[in-house]
A and B are shown apart, each in its own frame.
Chain A
Amino acid sequence: MKAWLQVLRREWMEWRLLVAGAFLLGWFPWAAPLLPGTDHLAPSDVRQAAAILVLVLVGVGAVGFLAPALLARDLASRRLSFFLTRPLSSATLWSARVVAIGSVLMFVLLLVSLPTLVAEPDVIRALGSSADQPAAPLSALGEFFSLRAQPDLPAVLSPALRIPAAVLTLLAVLLLVHWLNIVVRSRSKWLLLDMIGLAVLGTVLWSLRDQLLSLQAFGAMVWIERFWCVGLPAVLWLAGLRQLELGRIDPVRGHRVYSLHAWTGLTVLTLVSAAYVSWITGGTVSDLKSLSGVSPNPTGSHMVVGGTLKGRAGLQGTFIVPLDVDPPSSVRSAGSSVPALFHWKWSGDGSRAVWARCKRLVPTLCELWTQDLAAGTEPRATGIAVRTNYIRLAVSHGGQLIALGHNSGVEVYATATGELIAAARTPDIVDLSFLSARQLRLVSFDPDAHAYRQVIHVFDIDSRESKVTGRIPGDVFGRFYTRSPEGGLLLFNSLVPRRLELRDAVSGEVVVDLTEMMDLNTIDLSSDHVLADARFVREDLLGVVWAPRKRTSLADQPTQDFEVLLLGLPSAVRPHTEIVTRTRVEQARDAQLGAELRTDALTVLVTHGSPTDAPVDPLLAGAGLEPLTATSTYLLHPGREQLELVAHGYIPVSVHRRTSSNHSSTAKLYATGNQALFTIKDGKAQVVFAGTERDRSESATNDYLSFRF
Chain B
Amino acid sequence: MSFDDLDQDLMGPEDPETIVAARGLTVRYGAKTLLHELDLEVREGQVYALLGRNGAGKSSLVRCVLGLQPVSGGRVELFGRDAWTHRHRLMGRIGVVPEESDVPPSMTGAQLSRFSSGLYDHWDHAAYHSRLERFGIDPKQSFGKLSRGQKAQVMLALALAASPRLLVLDDPTLGLDMVARKAVFEDLVDELATRPLTVLITSHDLPGIERLATHIAVLRDGRLAMDEELESVKQRYRWLDLVDADDVQTLSELEPVSEQARGRGSSVLVQRFDPKSFEELRDALGAHRVSLRVPSLEEILLLQTEPSPSESSPAQATATRASSSAGEGRP
**Residues of A participating in the B interface, judged by any CB pair closer than 8 Å:** 2-3, 5-6, 9-10, 13-14, 78-82, 84-90, 92, 246, 248-250
Contact = CB atoms under 8 A, between A and B. Distances in A.
Contact of B119 (A14, A79, A87): A87
Contacts, number: 65
B118 A5 contact: yes
A6 B88 contact: no
B120 interface: yes
A86 B87 CA distance: 9
Interface string B10-21: 000000000000
Interface string B82-103: 0000011101101010101011
23 contacts: A2-B119, A3-B118, A3-B119, A6-B118, A10-B104, A10-B107, A79-B102, A81-B66, A81-B68, A81-B102, A84-B66, A85-B68, A85-B96, A87-B89, A87-B92, A88-B88, A88-B91, A88-B119, A89-B88, A90-B88, A248-B67, A249-B68, A249-B69
Nearest to A79: B102
Candidate in B67, B88, B89, B118 with the most chain A CB atoms within 10 angstroms: B88
B91 A2 contact: no
Given A84-B68, A87-B91, A249 B63 contact: yes
Interface of B: 63, 66-70, 87-89, 91-92, 94, 96, 98, 100, 102-104, 106-107, 111, 115-116, 118-120
Contact of B106 (A9, A14, A78): A14
Contacts of A14: 104, 106
A246 B84 CA distance: 9
A254 to B, nearest CB: 12
A6 B123 CA distance: 14
B119 A85 contact: no
A82 B102 contact: yes
Q: Chain B binding site: helix, strand, loop or mixed by DSSP?
A: loop
Contact of B103 (A13, A82, A90): A82
B169 to A, nearest CB: 12
Contacts of B96: 85
A6 B104 contact: no
A248 B106 contact: no
Nearest to A90: B88
A58 to B, nearest CB: 21
Contacts of A87: 88-89, 91-92, 119-120
B186 to A, nearest CB: 24
B98 A85 contact: yes
A21 to B, nearest CB: 15
A86 B68 contact: no
Nearest to A7: B115
Nearest to B103: A82
A246 B70 CA distance: 8
Contacts of B104: 10, 14, 79, 82
A11 to B, nearest CB: 10
Contacts of A92: 88
Candidate in A87, A248, A249, A250 with the most chain B CB atoms within 10 angstroms: A87
Given A2-B118, A248-B69, 15 more contacts: A2-B119, A6-B118, A10-B111, A10-B115, A13-B111, A14-B104, A78-B100, A82-B104, A84-B91, A85-B91, A85-B94, A85-B96, A87-B91, A248-B68, A249-B63
B115 A81 contact: no
B106 to A, nearest CB: 6
Contacts of B107: 10
B2 to A, nearest CB: 11
A91 to B, nearest CB: 9
A9 B118 CA distance: 11
Contact of B116 (A13, A86, A89): A86
